[in-house]
Amino acid sequence: MKKSLLRIFLIYFSIWGAMCCVFGQYEASSDGFNEIGFPFVFLRTFAGKCLECEQLDIGFIFLGFLADLLLLSGLSLLSYYVWNIYKMIM
């Protein structure tokens, strides 16, 4: 039971990691932001000049990371239970 749940979580985690890299915005080279995270941004960096840098929300965003992990865990558990129901029916 736990082994298959862990396997499902690792599959979802690797897909999520790839999606974070693919859908990230990498615009810091031209006075912009780098934003990483899917669907919620959890890492934002800035490169360039700014007048009011204190107002920028840059760095690691813990709430976005926590929301991503909770969503990932919920999808993993849902998939696990749906898979078990499907196996029982068949």
At residue 5, the pLDDT reads 87
Q: Which residues pair with 43 in a beta bridge?
A: 36, 60
| Domain range for 65 | 2-89
Q: pTM here?
A: 0.81
| CA gap 23, 37 in Å, rounded | 8
Instruction: Tally the C-alpha atoms within 13 A of residue 37's C-alpha that lie toward its C-beta.
Output: 22
| CA gap 65, 76 in Å, rounded | 16
Mean pLDDT by 10 residues, the chain (90 residues): 84 94 87 89 86 80 95 94 89
| CA gap 78, 62 in Å, rounded | 24
Q: Which amino acid is at 15?
A: I
Q: Break the chain down into helix, strand, coil percent, rounded to 5.
A: 60, 15, 25
| Tally of domains within the chain | 1
